[in-house]
A and B are shown apart, each in its own frame.
Chain A
Amino acid sequence: MDFKRINIWLIVFLLTTCYTVTSKAQGQTPAPVVVPTEKINLPATTENWNGLYLKLRMSDKWFWYQENHYRRRNSVNNNWDFVGRMSQLYNRFGFTYLFTDNFEVTFGPTLVWQFSPDRGNPEFFDSVFDSRFWHQWLMTQSIGPVKVLHQFRFEHRFQRGNNIGSEYQYRDRWRYKITGYIPINKPRMENKTFFIAPSNEFFFQSNRETWNPFEENRVYTAIGYTYNNYMFFGGHMWTYGPTITPGTYRNRHIIRLNVMYTIDFRERRVPLTRDFAF
């Protein structure tokens, strides 16, 4: 599959996705809502996300992909302390199939523990378990020394709130992220490279009674360093998007700290040719 062909399919998929999201949103019969006369921006909140990323090569074409995040958020009384309350244990797993050097598909489950906004309050269940199925297309291209990643991610989620008695609801989420990996001390991304990685990601949602299919935009600028099998990266992410209240928007400042580890298992297998003669 060459890259031009992928691009054509990509455009077809994008058009289909946009149509689906729009038509579903239009097809719903939302409850009467009162739209405020002017846009309301809620005060910014803060969070801290710490992530471990694993990419294990199992064969020439298959990888195991894994993310484990420890996420905290600000205290109730202080929007700027970043780590005042436990927020989420976020775990994403998947099998990646490498179609070409520039195109791979990943699919798998996501397991999220969403913690109570007020731990110890009996009105809330301490941690609810959200499970999701996700899949993504990841395309890479090189523009001079810059490595550009196009990530299309789709999440099919079973979610509930922490309120006692809250019921699970099925929702879909559609995401696109573009990331540029810009090497600083090397001509291209390789071992022992300092880099800067700006990215932007759009989130859309469907299967949800909402006044806006647009869910969120995330602007993330990471700096990082590659060292052998490790990549250390982190930075600041700003998110902006509507809340469930019409005309009301929230924004978050998130400090992210991440480590990625990659390992190739292909040489470790020992073909067994002897007979145990059971």
Chain B
Amino acid sequence: MNKVILVFVFFLISSVSYGQYKEQIRVKHGYEMAVDKGFFGMNFTGEYFPINYISIVPSVTFYTPATGAARGFDLNARYYLTEKESQWYATLGYGHYTRVFEFNPIGVLRTNSVNLGGGGVFKLSDEIGINPEIRYQPIQRNDLIFKISILYFVN
């Protein structure tokens, strides 16, 4: 068991050697699951660092409900708490969600929410990493969303 923990710690230490620096760009492709509605979604995300440690993260998600359609747009800021062993971050931002109903006479429902959450970036190689994230959207949408992405370090 101790060996397993040592290997895991070694992985964490050795796999993250890059931090978050100004003008860095990352792009991501991910998959989301919203807890309340249970919708599965495909996500595309960009990330840009205007200054060290803090990034702007726009993303779009296309969900796959059994009927109708659903999509989300998010614009978040991330603040990275760590940079060496693992790149953990907290995120805050805005989330716009659109649900197009097929049978409900409401027709189209649009919600505006706050994004609150956090996640981590783990490097698999110099260019590629994975990025799990969890965020809560209080106010109108009121849902909890899990996301895992594969990440590419552009520069």
Contact = CB atoms under 8 A, between A and B. Distances in A.
B94 interface: no
Contact of A59 (B42, B81, B103, B128): B128
A111 B42 CA distance: 9
Contacts of B27: 64
Nearest to B27: A64
B19 interface: yes
Contacts of A168: 66
Interface in A107-136: 108-109, 111, 125, 127-129, 131
28 contacts: A58-B128, A58-B152, A59-B126, A62-B127, A62-B128, A64-B27, A108-B29, A125-B69, A127-B69, A129-B69, A131-B42, A131-B64, A164-B102, A165-B102, A165-B103, A268-B154, A268-B155, A269-B153, A269-B155, A270-B24, A270-B155, A272-B19, A272-B21, A276-B52, A276-B53, A278-B81, A278-B82, A278-B83
B146 interface: no
Interface residues of A, number: 28
A108 B94 CA distance: 28
Q: Is chain B's binding surface mostly helix, strand, loop or mixed?
A: loop
A276 B19 contact: yes
Given A269-B154, A276-B53, A278-B83, A59 B69 contact: no
A93 B64 CA distance: 17
A103 interface: no
Given A59-B126, A269-B155, A272-B19, A125 B102 contact: yes
Residue of A93, A95, A129, A131 most packed against chain B (CB within 10 A): A129
Given A127-B69, A268-B154, A276-B19, A111 B126 contact: no
B18 interface: yes
B128 A265 contact: no
B48 to A, nearest CB: 14
B83 A59 contact: no
B69 A128 contact: yes
A58 B19 contact: no
B10 to A, nearest CB: 20
Nearest to B155: A268
A98 to B, nearest CB: 14
A19 B102 CA distance: 40
B127 A272 contact: no
B125 interface: yes
Nearest to A113: B69
A58 B62 contact: no
Interface string B84-114: 1000000000000000001100000000000
Contacts of A275: 84
A158 interface: yes
B128 to A, nearest CB: 7
